[in-house]
A and B are shown apart, each in its own frame.
Chain A
Amino acid sequence: MIAQAAADSINVAQNVGFGIIAAGMIFAALCVVTTSNVVHAALWLVLVLAGVAAQYILAAAEFVAVSQVLVYVGAVMVLFLFGIMLTRAQIGPEKGLNNRGWAAGIPVAVVLLGLLSWAILDAFEDTTLPDRGPTTTSRISDDVLHPYLVPFLAISFILLAAAIGAMVLARKD
């Protein structure tokens, strides 16, 4: 009985944490699209991606959260900032950054939200997901080195293709 109550209070805390992080992410995401400085937009995006990592922690996916920080907040943002600094002559605040048809994005976003909500509600309805505890990194290695061995090696091919393709594109001649 007491254990049940403790578990419920943890679930409430989990939901509250989810709400707080989600609110922060939405605010940061709005800042990404409304700021007039491209570099600031990239830095707000760091906050969104860090929020995603925090949500992964709430979902007890520790390894995915750390990967998110390592790859997205670390490497991809470095690439983003370099991309901005390489391609744009004007880096300070800038008018006319918004696409003129930006309002057309609103119905698309609403439709996407509705579609995703419907798909998730239809698939799960009221089922409570089993509480299997946090996923340990060694359990991920069991998956990577056993059932997903071939996809895992295919990933290295994809990464290799991405690396070579990017280097060909970035070459000067």
Chain B
Amino acid sequence: MSDFLRDYLTVVWFGLAALVLGSLLLGLAALVRPVKPNASKLIAYESGVDPVGIGWSQSQIRYYVFALLFVIFDVEAVFIFPWAASIERYGTFGLVVMLAFIVLLLDGLLYAWKRGLLRWV
């Protein structure tokens, strides 16, 4: 346990180093550079053309189906990792079980395909 957490201390140091380095550079830049804002400097840069409307817009409903399918297959991927970690020990039995698992979920993809939900019109 202790060795395990000690290994993760590296992650903490790494994150802290990134934070310190980033804020050091940005803070230094903020101290050194001249700051003279005006209205036209503060508008969003849009290839030299004045921007129209706001940055936010509604996205299309058809993205939603892909996001949903992504969630489902992400969960599926999570369950494949433990099997992959001990793939030799389980051999044919593991393969059959995982194939059953994957084929069952593949039905969902087939359903989406049959319904034409995957077609981008």
Contacts and interface: CB of A to CB of B under 8 A. Distances in A.
Contacts of B13: none
A111 interface: no
A145 B111 contact: no
Q: Is the interface of B mostly helix, strand, loop or mixed?
A: helix
Contacts of B100: 153, 156
Given A153-B100, A167-B112, A71 B5 contact: no
Given A60-B1, A60-B5, A137-B85, A153 B97 contact: yes
Interface in B66-121: 67-72, 74-79, 81-83, 85-86, 89-90, 93-94, 97, 100-101, 104-105, 107-108, 111-112, 115, 117
A119 interface: no
A83 interface: yes
B54 interface: yes
Interface in A139-173: 140-142, 144-145, 149, 152-153, 155-157, 159-160, 162-164, 166-167, 170-172
A145 B67 contact: no
B47 interface: no
Given A13-B5, A153-B97, A138 B71 contact: no
* 6 closest Cβ pairs, A-B complex: A163-B108, A141-B82, A75-B74, A138-B86, A137-B85, A91-B56
10 contacts: A7-B2, A70-B78, A79-B70, A86-B58, A86-B59, A142-B86, A145-B93, A155-B79, A159-B105, A164-B111
Given A86-B60, A152-B97, 4 more contacts: A17-B12, A60-B1, A74-B74, A89-B58
Interface of A: 6-7, 10, 13-14, 17, 39, 57-58, 60, 62-63, 66-67, 70-71, 74-76, 78-79, 82-83, 85-86, 88-89, 91-92, 131-134, 136-138, 140-142, 144-145, 149, 152-153, 155-157, 159-160, 162-164, 166-167, 170-172
